[in-house]
Amino acid sequence: MITPTPALELRSIDKRFGSTVALTGASLCVQPGTLHMLLGENGAGKTTLLRIAAGLERPDGGTILLDGAERRWRSRAEAIAGGVGTVEQHFGLVPTMTVAENVALAGPGALTGFSPRRAARTVEEISTRIGLSVDANAVIGDLPVSGQQRVEIIKALAKPPRILILDEPTAVLAPAESLALYEWLRTFVDGGNAAVVITHHVREARANGDAITVLRRGRTVLEAPHRGETEGDVLRAILGEASPGSGLRAGRHAESIASHGDVVLRATAATIADEKGVVRVREASLVVRRGEVLGVAGVEGAGHRELLRALAGRLTPQTGTVEGPDAIGFIPEDRLREALVADFSLTENFILRASGRRRGRIAWRTEAERTARGIAEFDVRGGGPATLAGALSGGNQQRFVLARECDNSPDAVIAESPTRGLDIRASAAALQALRARAAAGAAVVVHSIDIDELLDVADRVIVCRGGQVREVPMRADAIGAALVGVA
Amino acid sequence: MTSGLPRVRGTAAAVFFASIALVAVCIWAAGYDASRAGSAAWNAAFGSPFAFFSGTLKRATPLLTLGIAISVAFRAGVLNIGADGQFLAGAAASVAVALTFSSWPRMVLLPMELLVGACAGAAWAGGAAVLKRRYAVGEVVSTLLLNFVATNLIGYLVRGPLQEPSHSYPQTPQIAPAGRLPILLPGQRLHWGFVIAVAVAIGAWWFFQRTAAGFRMRVVGASPSVAYSAGLIDVGAVQARALIASGAIAGLAGCCEVAGVTYGLYEGLSPGYGYTAIAVALLGGLGAGGVVVSALLFGALAAGADGMQRDAGIPPEFASIAAAMMILGMLIASTVQRARGAAPAPIRSDAGS
């Protein structure tokens, strides 16, 4: 069989942002007439790769080939002219304007000779041509998210592309809407075009795609054009097999023989929505006891984030209840956005915890001493109580947050991806610290994307998937299967 | 904890002197004698005890109190552009109280004026605070628009209910001596409002550095997401309180101005004090100590502008140009420092712990 010329090919693409390496030698090969799925965890480089293909970023190295011919996009407009259309994750729509106006705004000559009637006619033409219905005169702000996405697709198709790129289109859609989108994409690629879709969901990728590419840490780790791979293969490619190897497992089994204590955290039929009001967890029930570590597995958007935040008292369930102690240590995934003020001193950052409940005066000298003790206990290096938090390295910032959140022996500690961005040593130290909290009598909940890490640190593991929470056996294959929903 | 401070000081000083130098160039380019302007300004600001106390310090008084008012809001991340309106609300309420209860003894009347003035300022800001908290209306727009409402309210009061008895001038009668703030130094025009202003500055420093409530405001101003997630702080409530406190201090400034300087209400009572105070607060790095220094500099600038006009015939608008350049300079400096990854200059505290 002769392989046709790929519609779009990206070869050994490099991209750095400052000192951060986003892509190193990443590649992607999309055949004409196919729906190509791009998978990878947060920060794997998926969006960056597709932004390069769409002319939104320029690569530091590597080549872009369109139908076998090398291209260098200087702008998104050039890519669109060359036949590459994009639907970004965050919509670029003006909420107070109509569909027709938004489409006209994106088109050529937007600033010269706008006629509302002509714009509406254009939208109707496109929407009949591609078979996506939308009211040209509707105001964007009144449309549901799926409707807004349709408008983005229509915008991308105003100048008919041969390759359509969609960044996590189903993240904002209900299951039925996702189904409709994939049906439409199927007719789109059957017409000889190609589409690239970013998703986090292995199941979704396998069910709808013709080919799969997986990125991990800026590299292409799996290219599977013929569906020869299993779900396990894909999942392993996404998550990687490297484990911090903290050696906790051996020591733990001895202590876990002793039965655990009273219930500290309890969720009863809790339905939890995220900050935007989208329900992420449905009727979850669980208990966490004194002295145990509960591991939580889940791929992005599975609801584990909302579950942990509800347990930590940072989100209130819509229905059902979540009960927990007053003193809860919470270690968020994004340290600098949610845990630390970079230009506050370590002492100031230390007393920040639960400062909403503090009254009266602050005795700085005492607090500085307390901070110094926490710094020593958790081996935070690179500064003392007066050092600015922003001056510490990432690993030491994480140690510092652990020190703060474990201070005063809270009854529960909840950690979101506590090893994210840490090297092997710092990861092991973080997990050991959490284990030590449990040994000291706290209920500990840890989310991690790394299955081996969960097996290392946890006594039991639950898996979040599509808003459902389920306890699974402590085996890598069982967790992996539950993550993708096969078991 | 003071590592950010020398940087702010250096930047502020550089911006201040660069602005003065640029204005000197403008004066020269406009065909005036810049050196004569400089000596006239210096004499009017620092040339004699009278110049210093009755010129510089008297003029620095409202700017200091208002600068602290602005910094209280800004440090909590609330951009209160309405100090001018809150100042006028406080002034109007104080005058109304002083005129109504003119026969009361000073020991009762004066504290009541101050209290009512602060409450009126707080209420004026409170409107914007409620709009922000309940309906998510941006405080920049609401506080700014309330300034125009306050200006016109003064216009109505001095032509209507509070107009002087002869009804010929758009102003109130003078308040009784019992309702006036005493003069601080005999023979000078500096009044007790200056002491109040300094006390407010010290109080603000103590509040931000020593109390949990002040610390919360600093956290909210530095990062609302950290405040909520790590601090379990009710960000909206803290910001509303900061805005109301800011309004109360601005109202107090209004009261001190009418009870210490003008003894009455008239249109144009505030020549844009509330806006100049933004420059004062930013130049002072939003810290109490810095605001004291920058208020003194701005007081000297205002006194100097008077002197330039009187003795060298140079339009006082040049002083406004200097103030505007200082605001721009501080904004540029803080943006540049942030872009370079340094601590944002004006938000850095003068923490001493």
For the segment A277-319, what is each residue's pLDDT rounded down to a tens digit? 888 899 999 999 999 999 999 877 788 999 999 999 999 999 9
- B325: CB partners within 8 A, 6+ apart: B18, B19, B22, B23
The residue type at A64: I
| CB burial of residue A208 (10 Å; 0-12, 13-18, 19+) | buried
The SS3 call for residue A194 is strand
Residue of A nearest to B225 (CA): A338
Out of B210, B231, B343, whose CB is closest to A362? B210
Choose the mutation target among A315, A340, A352, A406 for the interface with B, i.e. most B CBs under 10 Å: A352
Measured in angstroms, the CA of A268 and the nearest CA of chain B are apart by 23
The residue type at A135: D
How many Cα atoms within 13 Å fall on the side-chain side of residue A88?
Answer: 12
Tokens for B92? 């109007």
Q: How remote is the C-alpha of A274 from its chain's centroid?
A: 14
Locate all alpha helices (DSSP H) within A242-382, ordered by sequence: 248-257, 304-311, 346-352, 364-377
Out of A347, A356, A362, whose CB is closest to B211? A362
Distance CA B73, CA B122 (A): 12
pLDDT band at B79 (very low <50, low <70, confident <90, very high): very high
Pairs of CB atoms within 8 A across A/B: 86
What does the DSSP assignment read for B201-221? HHHHHHHHHHBHHHHHHHHHH
Task: Flag whether pLDDT at B344 surpasses 60.
Answer: no
Predicted pLDDT of residue A113 = 66
pLDDT band at A397 (very low <50, low <70, confident <90, very high): confident
Task: Flag whether pLDDT at B127 surpasses 90.
Answer: yes
Choose the mutation target among B5, B229, B334, B338 for the interface with A, i.e. most A CBs under 10 Å: B229
Measured in angstroms, the CA of B107 and the nearest CA of chain A are apart by 31
Does the beta carbon of A340 lie under 8 angstroms from any beta carbon of chain B?
A: yes
Are B4 and A343 within 8 A, CB to CB?
A: yes
Out of A332, A361, A364, whose CB is closest to B229? A332
Chain A hits for B216, CB-CB cut-off 8 Å, are: 355-356, 358
Chain A hits for B1, CB-CB cut-off 8 Å, are: 345, 347-348, 386
What does the DSSP assignment read for A99-137? HHHHHHHHSTTTTS---HHHHHHHHHHHHHHHT----TT
Predicted pLDDT of residue A146 = 77
Q: Of B53, B47, B24, B85, nearest to B325 (Cα)?
A: B24
Distance CA B89, CA A472 (A): 65
Out of B225, B232, B353, whose CB is closest to A354? B232
Helix (H) / strand (E) containing A289: strand A279-289
Distance CA B290, CA B16 (A): 13
Measured in angstroms, the CA of B203 and the nearest CA of chain A are apart by 13
Choose the mutation target among B232, B233, B348, B350 for the interface with A, i.e. most A CBs under 10 Å: B232
Task: Flag whether pLDDT at B341 surpasses 60.
Answer: no
Chain A hits for B6, CB-CB cut-off 8 Å, are: none
Predicted pLDDT of residue B2 = 36
Are B232 and A368 within 8 A, CB to CB?
A: no
Are B215 and A358 within 8 A, CB to CB?
A: yes
Out of B218, B222, B231, whose CB is closest to A356? B231
pLDDT band at A424 (very low <50, low <70, confident <90, very high): low
Contact between A375 and A400 under an 8 Å Cβ cutoff? The reply is yes
Task: Flag whether pLDDT at B53 surpasses 70.
Answer: yes
- The more confident residue out of A322 and A201 is A322
Distance CA B353, CA A344 (A): 12
Asked which of A111-125, A402-416, B101-115, B332-346 is least confident by mean pLDDT, the reply is: B332-346
Task: Flag whether pLDDT at B77 surpasses 70.
Answer: yes
Q: Of A71, A52, A56, A66, nearest to A14 (Cα)?
A: A52
Which DSSP category does A6 fall into?
P
Contact between A68 and A115 under an 8 Å Cβ cutoff? The reply is no
Contact between B73 and B282 under an 8 Å Cβ cutoff? The reply is no
Measured in angstroms, the CA of B225 and the nearest CA of chain A are apart by 5
Distance CA B65, CA B295 (A): 9
Tokens for A332? 């968020």
Predicted pLDDT of residue A310 = 94
pLDDT band at A251 (very low <50, low <70, confident <90, very high): very low
Are A314 and B229 within 8 A, CB to CB?
A: yes
Out of A337, A362, A368, whose CB is closest to B212? A362
Residue of B nearest to A314 (CA): B229
Task: Flag whether pLDDT at B162 surpasses 60.
Answer: yes
Measured in angstroms, the CA of B145 and the nearest CA of chain A are apart by 24
Chain B hits for A390, CB-CB cut-off 8 Å, are: 343
Choose the mutation target among B2, B216, B226 for the interface with A, i.e. most A CBs under 10 Å: B226
Chain A hits for B215, CB-CB cut-off 8 Å, are: 348, 351, 355, 358, 362
Task: Flag whether pLDDT at A370 surpasses 90.
Answer: yes
Ramachandran quadrant class, B219 (left: phi over 0; alpha: psi -120 to 50; beta: rest): alpha
Are B231 and A314 within 8 A, CB to CB?
A: no
Tokens for B290? 């810095």
Count, residues in chain A: 487
The SS3 call for residue A27 is strand
Contact between B303 and B55 under an 8 Å Cβ cutoff? The reply is yes
Asked which of A376-390, B271-285, B323-337 is least confident by mean pLDDT, the reply is: B323-337
Predicted pLDDT of residue B122 = 98
**What are A287's strand-pairing partners?**
A266
pLDDT band at B345 (very low <50, low <70, confident <90, very high): very low
Asked which of A237-241, B252-256, B309-313 is least confident by mean pLDDT, the reply is: A237-241
Measured in angstroms, the CA of A433 and the nearest CA of chain B are apart by 19
Tokens for B99? 């005129």
Are B343 and A342 within 8 A, CB to CB?
A: yes
Please state the rounded mean pLDDT for residues A359-366.
92
Choose the mutation target among A333, A341, A349 for the interface with B, i.e. most B CBs under 10 Å: A341
pLDDT band at A3 (very low <50, low <70, confident <90, very high): low
Per-residue pLDDT tens for A428-479? 888 888 999 999 889 999 998 778 788 889 999 999 988 889 898 888 888 8
Are A356 and B344 within 8 A, CB to CB?
A: no
Distance CA B57, CA B55 (A): 6
Per-residue pLDDT tens for A353-362? 988 888 889 9
Query: Dihedral (C-alpha) B136, B141, B147, B148: value to the nearest 10 degrees?
Result: -120
Task: Flag whether pLDDT at B217 surpasses 50.
Answer: yes
Rg of chain B in Å (alpha carbons) = 20
Q: Mark A354-383 as b/e (b = at least 16 C-beta within 10 Å).
A: bbbebeeebebeebbebbbebbeebebeeb
The SS3 call for residue A206 is helix
Predicted pLDDT of residue A180 = 82
Contact between B338 and B344 under an 8 Å Cβ cutoff? The reply is yes
Asked which of A349-358, B118-127, B197-206, B248-257 is least confident by mean pLDDT, the reply is: A349-358
Are B231 and A364 within 8 A, CB to CB?
A: no
Are B219 and A355 within 8 A, CB to CB?
A: yes
pLDDT band at B349 (very low <50, low <70, confident <90, very high): very low
Predicted pLDDT of residue B274 = 93
Distance CA B124, CA A100 (A): 43
Tokens for A362? 């602050």
Out of A313, A352, A365, whose CB is closest to B231? A352
Percent with pLDDT over 90 in chain A: 31
Are A364 and B232 within 8 A, CB to CB?
A: no
pLDDT band at A253 (very low <50, low <70, confident <90, very high): very low
Predicted pLDDT of residue A256 = 47
Residue B169, Cβ neighbours under 10 Å: how many?
12
Distance CA A73, CA B312 (A): 62
- The more confident residue out of A320 and A172 is A320
Out of A356, A365, A390, whose CB is closest to B233? A356
- Above 0.90 for ipTM, yes or no? no
Are A347 and B1 within 8 A, CB to CB?
A: yes
